Amino acid sequence: MDGGVGYADMDALKATELRLGLPGSHPPEKPLPTTTTTARPTKRSLDEDRAARRETSEGGRATSARATKAQVVGWPPIRSYRKNSFQAMKATAEAAGLYVKVSMDGAPYLRKIDLEVYKGYRELREALEDMFKCFEGCKGSEYAITYEDKDGDLMLVGDVPWEMFTSSCKKLRIIRGAEAIRGLGSSQ
Amino acid sequence: MTYFPEEVVEHIFDFLSSHRDRNIVSTVCKAWYRVERLSRRIVFVGNCYAVRPGRVMARFPGMKCLSVKGKPHFADFNLVPHDWGGFALPWIEAAARGCPGLEELRLKRMVVSDESLELLARSFPNFKALVLVSCEGFTTDGLAAIATHCRGLRELDLQENEVEDHGRQWLSCFPDSCTSLESLNFACLKGEVNAGALERLVARCVNLRSLKLNRAISVESLARMLARTPHLVELGTGSFTVEHRAEAYQRLIHAFRKCKSLKSLSGFWDVAPRCLQSIYSICPNLTVLNLSYAPAIQGADLVKLIRHCFKLQKLWVLDCIRDKGLAVVASTCQELQELRVFPSDIYGTGTAAVTEEGLVAISSGCSKLNSLLYFCHQMTNAALITVAKNCPHFTRFRLCILDPGKPDPDTNQPLDEGFGAIVRSCKDLRRLSLSGLLTDKVFLYIGEYAARLEMLSIAFAGDSDKGMVYVLNGCKNLRKLEIRDSPFGDAALLENVGKYETMRSLWMSSCDVTLGGCKALAAKMPRLNVEVINDRDESDEMEENPSDMHKVEKMYVYRTLAGARNDAPEFVEIL
């Protein structure tokens, strides 16, 4: 979920980019059609692969290299049946989901996240940090993550078991500054 | 031996179970050949184009079970164009004429039309079992024909086929008098089936031991069926979507508790992690568990489940099990023999799910492991060397590092030494798939040590022709060699042409072999079919008389007694 080398400058730009996808994640490239309809795709990609290999072997961010590399036909070697059912499953999984709005004090616009994606509070916290770190003053300053529950009350995130939280959370709000410090007390 | 009456010789041959042994004894003398061929009941044809169907039927008139394989293995990964071939119809026609007593038919990677299924259904009065694996070309209409006409059908097993849905009626075509089913697997069907008809069918087939449902079957239906089949041994659940508070769920738990014979589970397409608790009561008896189609089950839940499965011998999972999860498998599943870890995020750039650590953990806990398919993001030589030491009993070792040509991340070295350790240690290795950054050296090791190797898959590996030559000259039991995107050319192809007659087939794609090289091979070896498969869009180019220097995109070479096949499409040139 982290951005990787060279993305620091891009954060501000990326934050304003309208796209579908989970916060902090880079949406996968749309897979190329797997039939060989273009002339010698595998030959070209072999050379590209060799070039990319030299790049990635410099100990690094294989993720960025992978995202830009053309996809190789028939790789990874997974049966089409499995690939197709996997894509179908992903579609239904993404269509469902528990999306809630996330607002942050001082931010010009809100975000939306799918609570079903996270396994617990730590992951949620990390994802929210990642999503909002582009905003000035966020780093180092105190903040508290709160949510509005079914009854409309503003609650501190973290008090109840995770499942109970996901089933009662209607929207999230990140409170910053003095208000947050006062509120945190001994709970975190 | 020729002084023994034939019945005695035949009786002795009954003890030979392997095809290879029977093939060998049939070459001893004419008398043995005759006795053997008349008494052979199970016939296996590894390449449908290696021999004419009629010839098989003529040689083995008493045949009861026939297995035929069609397309080359790389067809699984879309490397073989759609209508390349591998048609089942000629085989069914020939069997209908020559072996009407046929009872079982197993087809893999073949094109099976509804017409062939209809012919099959009407031609064999004693037909008992149909197994189709990775086939295509038929619809539920063909299945309807089987259901309608095959009285006494015991097994209908459809594994990972592409089946066109023409409606749900096919299952209702099993007559009310049908009570013989022992195994029914329609997990790969995408459409709805008539649940009522299915439940009635299951209820009246008292010998049913294996039932694998498709995704359309609800939990309510599953619960009802399980209540009627307490002796079930293998179950593929339907979608398994249920609210854990629902009554159906409670009934399901109850039904599971009664299934004391259940040893194999699969399916779970849409299961919510919470509902996995329903199978905890069966887990201690499970020997086979396939969760590789259940991406909704992540790490912690998966681990909780596996902790109950201490008799597991075969486990298929997604890589969301993570290295930590594999460590739990290692400590819990001491009987594990086969492990497959599939990638859950094929195209994404997500965080690494399993690495060499998971594999090392498995190897230290599961000493009986002999079959592995492992998709991972990285592997190290050190890890492979450790695995080789811990698990010397591998017969199948397939490693797929998702990034082609990736080196050992710790040392930046190729993985030659790691795979070298595997082939040196695992003396019974029959199947090997390589990946990662590899030089010619790994092939030197393979040629030298992998004496029992029968199938080798190579991708994005090697530096020069020497690599391929090491393998061809070294592995004396090699039967299938498939290579893609590797720098092997004509010199390697033509170095040991006699070798190809000892093998079933050779596949090379995106390598450096030229048309001239293929022509030379075809000229030297008349009993091989050398197929040059062109990409469709290029077939216009090909008509302009390409030069012999032209690199061949895909080449498939196989030994054959049948000569050039007459059903090849335009884009396949047989030299």
Which residues in chain A touch residue B439, judged by CB atoms under 8 angstroms apart?
none
How far, in Å, CA of B127 to CA of B101, rounded?
8
Per-residue H/E/C for B347-396: CCCCCCCCCHHHHHHHHHHCCCCCEEEEEECCCCHHHHHHHHHHCCCCCE
How far, in Å, CA of B526 to CA of B564, rounded?
10
Chain B contact for A36 (CB, 8 A cutoff) = yes
Cis peptide before B487 (omega within 30 of 0): no
How far, in Å, CA of B126 to CA of B474, rounded?
46
How far, in Å, CA of B101 to CA of B62, rounded?
8
**Closest Cα partner for B356 from B319, B327, B323?**
B323
Whether pLDDT at A96 is above 80: no
Q: Which two tokens stand for residue B481?
A: 């060699």
How far, in Å, CA of A26 to CA of B348, rounded?
8
Asked if the Cβ–Cβ distance from B403 to A71 is below 8 Å, we say: no
3-state secondary structure at position A1: coil
3-state secondary structure at position B58: helix
B406 CA: distance to closest CA in chain A (Å): 7
A183 CA: distance to closest CA in chain B (Å): 33
How far, in Å, CA of B213 to CA of B194, rounded?
12
pLDDT for B258-283, tens place per residue? 999 999 999 988 887 778 888 999 99
Asked if the Cβ–Cβ distance from B347 to A38 is below 8 Å, we say: no
DSSP state string for B459-502: ES--SSHHHHHHHHHH-TT--EEEEES---BHHHHHHTGGGGGG
CA–chain centroid gap for B122, Å, is 28
Mutation target to probe the A interface, by most A beta carbons within 10 A, among B485, B508, B511 is B485
Beta bridge partners of A103: A173
Q: Which two tokens stand for residue B34?
A: 């005759």
Structure-model confidence comparison of residues B132 and A127, the more confident one: B132
- Residue of chain A nearest B486, judged by CA positions: A46
A4 CA: distance to closest CA in chain B (Å): 12
Whether pLDDT at B38 is above 70: yes
3-state secondary structure at position B422: helix
CA–chain centroid gap for A133, Å, is 13
- Residue of chain A nearest B487, judged by CA positions: A46
DSSP state string for A45-102: HHHHHHHHHHHHTTT--HHHHHHHSPPPTT-S---HHHHHHHHHHHHHHHHS--EEEE
The label of the residue with tokens 């094929």 reads B346
Over residues A108-115, the mean pLDDT reads: 86
**Closest Cα partner for A89 from B573, B235, B268?**
B268
A17 CA: distance to closest CA in chain B (Å): 19
User: Which bin fits B328, alpha (ψ -120 to 50), beta or left (φ > 0)?
Assistant: alpha
A6 CA: distance to closest CA in chain B (Å): 16
Structure-model confidence comparison of residues A59 and B490, the more confident one: B490
CA–chain centroid gap for A7, Å, is 14
Which of B165-179, B295-309, B376-390, B455-469 bottoms out in mean pLDDT, i.e. has the lowest? B295-309
Which residues in chain B touch residue A119, judged by CB atoms under 8 angstroms apart?
298-300
Over residues B339-343, the mean pLDDT reads: 95
Q: Which two tokens stand for residue B195?
A: 């649940």
* Contacts with A30 (C-beta within 8 Å, 6 or more apart), sequence order: none
Chain A contact for B269 (CB, 8 A cutoff) = yes
Could you give phi then psi for residue A153, rounded to 5 degrees?
-85, 150
- Residue of chain B nearest A163, judged by CA positions: B274
Q: What's B285's DSSP letter?
A: G
Q: What's B170's DSSP letter?
A: G
Asked if the Cβ–Cβ distance from A93 to B296 is below 8 Å, we say: yes
Over residues B207-235, the mean pLDDT reads: 94
Asked if the Cβ–Cβ distance from B537 to A38 is below 8 Å, we say: yes
The pLDDT, as a whole number, for residue A167 is: 81
Over residues B32-37, the mean pLDDT reads: 90
Whether pLDDT at A70 is above 60: no
Which 38-77 residues of chain A touch chain B by CB within 8 A?
A: 38-40, 42-43, 46, 49-50, 53, 56-57, 59, 62-64, 66-67, 71-77
Q: Are B562 and B52 in contact (CB under 8 A)?
A: yes
The pLDDT, as a whole number, for residue B456 is: 98
How far, in Å, CA of B429 to CA of A10, rounded?
50
How far, in Å, CA of B174 to CA of B196, rounded?
13
A59 CA: distance to closest CA in chain B (Å): 7
Whether pLDDT at B129 is above 90: yes
Over residues A89-110, the mean pLDDT reads: 75
3-state secondary structure at position B35: helix
Asked if the Cβ–Cβ distance from B81 to A79 is below 8 Å, we say: no
CA-to-CA separations, B175 to B181, B205, B232, in angstroms, rounded:
12, 12, 22
Chain B contact for A20 (CB, 8 A cutoff) = no
Q: Which of A36, A57, A89 is opposite residue B412, by nearest beta carbon?
A: A57
The pLDDT, as a whole number, for residue B373 is: 98
Q: How far apart are the first and last CA of chain A?
A: 24
Q: Are A90 and B318 in contact (CB under 8 A)?
A: no
CA–chain centroid gap for A45, Å, is 28
What percent of chain B clears pLDDT 70, i.e. is strictly above it?
97
Highest mean pLDDT among A15-19, B5-9, B37-41, B270-274: B37-41
Q: What is the dihedral of CA B418, B420, B424, B427, to 10 degrees?
A: 90
Over residues A175-182, the mean pLDDT reads: 70
B13 CA: distance to closest CA in chain A (Å): 38
Asked if the Cβ–Cβ distance from B78 to A77 is below 8 Å, we say: no
Which residues in chain B touch residue A98, judged by CB atoms under 8 angstroms apart?
none
The pLDDT, as a whole number, for residue A60 is: 37
A175 CA: distance to closest CA in chain B (Å): 30
Q: Are B165 and B190 in contact (CB under 8 A)?
A: yes
Confidence band of B158 (pLDDT split at 50, 70, 90): very high
Whether pLDDT at B490 is above 90: yes
Mutation target to probe the A interface, by most A beta carbons within 10 A, among B71, B78, B189, B513 is B78
Q: Which of B78, B342, B485 is opposite residue A34, by nearest beta carbon?
A: B78
How far, in Å, CA of B440 to CA of B443, rounded?
5
Which of A60-74, B47-61, B522-536 bottoms out in mean pLDDT, i.e. has the lowest? A60-74
Q: Which of A31, A36, A64 is opposite residue B347, by nearest beta carbon?
A: A31
Chain A contact for B404 (CB, 8 A cutoff) = yes
Q: Which of A63, A74, A89 is opposite residue B295, by nearest beta carbon?
A: A89
Asked if the Cβ–Cβ distance from B347 to A28 is below 8 Å, we say: yes
Confidence band of B68 (pLDDT split at 50, 70, 90): very high
Q: Are B4 and B31 in contact (CB under 8 A)?
A: no
Kindly tell me the sign of the dihedral angle through the C-alpha atoms of B345, B348, B349, B351: negative
Confidence band of B248 (pLDDT split at 50, 70, 90): confident
Highest mean pLDDT among A87-96, B27-36, B339-348, B530-539: B27-36
* Contacts with B27 (C-beta within 8 Å, 6 or more apart), sequence order: B33
pLDDT for B189-218, tens place per residue? 999 999 999 999 999 999 999 999 999 998
How far, in Å, CA of B212 to CA of B160, rounded?
12
pLDDT for A160-173, tens place per residue? 888 888 888 888 99
Average pLDDT along chain B: 92
Q: Which two tokens stand for residue A14?
A: 């990326």
The pLDDT, as a whole number, for residue A22 is: 56
CA–chain centroid gap for B392, Å, is 23
CB pairs under 8 A between A and B: 131
Q: Which two tokens stand for residue B367?
A: 């000493």
Asked if the Cβ–Cβ distance from B538 to A92 is below 8 Å, we say: no
The pLDDT, as a whole number, for residue B309 is: 96
* Contacts with B322 (C-beta within 8 Å, 6 or more apart), sequence order: B299, B353, B354, B358
Structure-model confidence comparison of residues B488 and B245, the more confident one: B488
The pLDDT, as a whole number, for residue A36 is: 37
Asked if the Cβ–Cβ distance from B510 to A42 is below 8 Å, we say: yes
- Residue of chain B nearest A118, judged by CA positions: B298
Chain A contact for B296 (CB, 8 A cutoff) = yes
pLDDT for B344-402, tens place per residue? 876 555 566 899 999 999 999 999 999 999 999 999 999 999 999 999 999 999 999 99
Asked if the Cβ–Cβ distance from A42 to B485 is below 8 Å, we say: yes
Structure-model confidence comparison of residues B317 and A118, the more confident one: B317
**Closest Cα partner for A156 from A116, A184, A123, A120?**
A184
Whether pLDDT at A31 is above 80: no
pLDDT for B519-555, tens place per residue? 999 999 999 999 999 876 655 555 566 788 889 999 9
Question: Residue B308 CB: number of other CB atoms within 10 A?
Answer: 18
Over residues B468-480, the mean pLDDT reads: 97
pTM across the whole model: 0.79
Which of A84-98, B10-24, B59-73, B171-185 bottoms out in mean pLDDT, i.e. has the lowest? A84-98
DSSP H or E run through A41: helix A41-56
**Closest Cα partner for B539 from A167, A57, A37, A10?**
A37
Mutation target to probe the A interface, by most A beta carbons within 10 A, among B80, B136, B316, B349 is B349
Could you give phi then psi for residue B529, rounded to 5 degrees?
-95, 125
Which of A4-13, B216-225, B355-364, B458-467 bottoms out in mean pLDDT, i.e. has the lowest? A4-13
What percent of chain A clears pLDDT 70, i.e. is strictly above it?
47
Over residues B230-235, the mean pLDDT reads: 95
Which residues in chain B touch residue A60, judged by CB atoms under 8 angstroms apart?
none
The pLDDT, as a whole number, for residue A85 is: 78
Confidence band of A52 (pLDDT split at 50, 70, 90): very low
CATH of A99-181, one of 1.10.3720.10, 3.20.20.10, 3.10.20.90, 3.40.50.1370: 3.10.20.90
The label of the residue with tokens 């199970």 reads B42
Chain B contact for A95 (CB, 8 A cutoff) = no
Structure-model confidence comparison of residues A61 and B117, the more confident one: B117
Chain A contact for B549 (CB, 8 A cutoff) = no
Whether pLDDT at B310 is above 50: yes
Structure-model confidence comparison of residues A87 and A102, the more confident one: A102
DSSP state string for B300-339: HHHHHHHTT-TT-SEEEEEGGGHHHHHHHHHHH-TT--EE
* Contacts with B543 (C-beta within 8 Å, 6 or more apart), sequence order: none
Whether pLDDT at A32 is above 50: no
The pLDDT, as a whole number, for residue B352 is: 61
Chain A contact for B292 (CB, 8 A cutoff) = yes
Chain B contact for A6 (CB, 8 A cutoff) = no
Q: Which two tokens stand for residue B432?
A: 């090997």
Kindly tell me the sign of the dihedral angle through the C-alpha atoms of B323, B325, B331, B333: negative
Which 9-38 residues of chain B touch chain A by CB within 8 A?
A: none
Which of A16-25, B1-10, B386-395 bottoms out in mean pLDDT, i.e. has the lowest? A16-25
Whether pLDDT at B1 is above 70: no
How far, in Å, CA of B54 to CA of B59, rounded?
9
Whether pLDDT at A185 is above 80: no
What percent of chain B clears pLDDT 90, i.e. is strictly above it?
78
Q: Which of B269, B349, B510 is opposite residue A43, by nearest beta carbon?
A: B510
Over residues B132-154, the mean pLDDT reads: 96
